[in-house]
Amino acid sequence: MAGFVDLYTEADTFLHRMDPRVKIFAVLLLSLLALVLSNLYYLLILLAFIFLLLFLARATFSHTMFALKFVLRFMALIIILWPIFDPSGTPMLASLGPIKITEPAIWRGFTSAARVGCLATVWYILMFTTSQRDLVRALVKMGLRFDFGLTLAISLRFLPTFSALIDSIKDAQRARGLELSKGGLLKISRNYVAILVPTIVAALRTADALSLALQSRAYGARADRTYLRDLKMRVSDGIALGVLVAAFVLPVLAKYAFNVKL
């Protein structure tokens, strides 16, 4: 628990150099595409494409496993539980009391699991290749109010700080004899009060100090905030955006305008 996972890995690939706005747009479009497609094979192709991008982003093995650990478990559960609760379809394979297991239900389970896999892994293209600073700046550039962006930046910046703070308070209370690993769930949870109260008080003090610091640096004095480095769309970003929009629009057109089964 001590180490705090920062998902961003420093590297110099085309995904790292890409404009974060294009990457946010890409994640949204690919997620929508996963919801539009309903055939297992096309969903698997999309999943392979997402993994290709992750590979090209030079995501380290440990990071990829971290991202996949939860998703794989989730997909396995869907595949196991779906047929049990879905009795529709004709070729019945087995039945036990009220539970009927049919062949189409099993395939539907696999399709849903593939879709969930796409939706869950596509996030990590953005998270692995974009630093928090770039992410917030892209959101502000896309029209988020600057003060809201600042709030988001503050919360992202203080997350590791508070994680470390909670760990050290945990150690301090353990040294005074607090048990956190023994007993049932209720007992452990009750013991967490001794950790949460000092954490919250320290955090509220930090908030007071931070508001003074913001005021002393003339926060909100000028409406048009300027930046040292500004985001600019380059030609390669434009090309990437074009390819993405094509990859989204063509299947959607084929499905809804020309009634191709996808």
Partner 1 sequence: MGLWDDVGQTLRDVFFSKTSPLAWFLVAFLLALIVYHFYRGFKERKRLGTSAQANFVSPKTVALYGILTALTAAVTYASYLPFSPTKGYFNLGETMVFFSALAIGWREGAICGGIGSAAADILLGSGIYAPITAVAKGAEGFVTGIIGRLKGGAHWGPVLGVVIGLLIAVAASWPLPGRMFGVDEWIVLVILFLVTWVVVLALFQRWKDILSIATPMILGIATGGAVMVASYFLGEYFLLNVGLGKALAEVPINVAQVVIGGTIGGLLSFYVRRSYPALANQ
Q: Which of residues 143-202 bind partner 1 (CB under 8 A)?
A: 143-147, 150-159, 161-163, 165-167, 170, 185-186, 188-190, 192-193, 196-197, 199-201
Q: How far is the CB of 90 from partner 1 (least distance, A)?
A: 19
Residue 230 touching partner 1 (CB under 8 A): no
* Closer by beta carbon to partner 1, 151 or else 236: 151
List Cα–Cα distances, 116 to 28, 43, 113, 167, 224, in angstroms.
Answer: 14, 10, 5, 33, 42
* Residues 254/260, Cβ–Cβ less than 8 Å: yes
Size of site (CB under 8 A) for partner 1: 79
Q: How far is the CB of 190 from partner 1 (least distance, A)?
A: 7
- Alpha-carbon dihedral of residues 120, 123, 127, 133, nearest 10 degrees? -140
Q: Given candidates 175, 221, 228, 235, which one binds partner 1 under the rule CB under 8 A?
A: 221
Site string for partner 1, 2-41 (x = CB under 8 A): --xx-x----------------------------------
Q: Given candidates 16, 21, 23, 115, which one binds partner 1 under the rule CB under 8 A?
A: 115
* Closer by beta carbon to partner 1, 11 or else 71: 71
Residue 206 touching partner 1 (CB under 8 A): yes
**Window of 18-26, 40-48, 213-221, 227-235 that interacts with partner 1 by CB under 8 A:** 213-221
Q: Which of residues 127-146 bind partner 1 (CB under 8 A)?
A: 127, 142-146
Q: Given candidates 40, 44, 119, 262, which one binds partner 1 under the rule CB under 8 A?
A: 119
Q: How far is the CB of 38 from partner 1 (least distance, A)?
A: 10
Q: Given candidates 30, 33, 120, 244, which one binds partner 1 under the rule CB under 8 A?
A: 120
Q: How far is the CB of 130 from partner 1 (least distance, A)?
A: 12
Look at the block and give the residue holding tokens 């452990």: 188
Q: Which of residues 41-100 bind partner 1 (CB under 8 A)?
A: 66-67, 69-71, 73-74, 76-78, 81-82, 84-86
Residue 236 touching partner 1 (CB under 8 A): no
What distance in Å separates the CA atoms of residue 16 and residue 11, rounded to the nearest whole number? 7
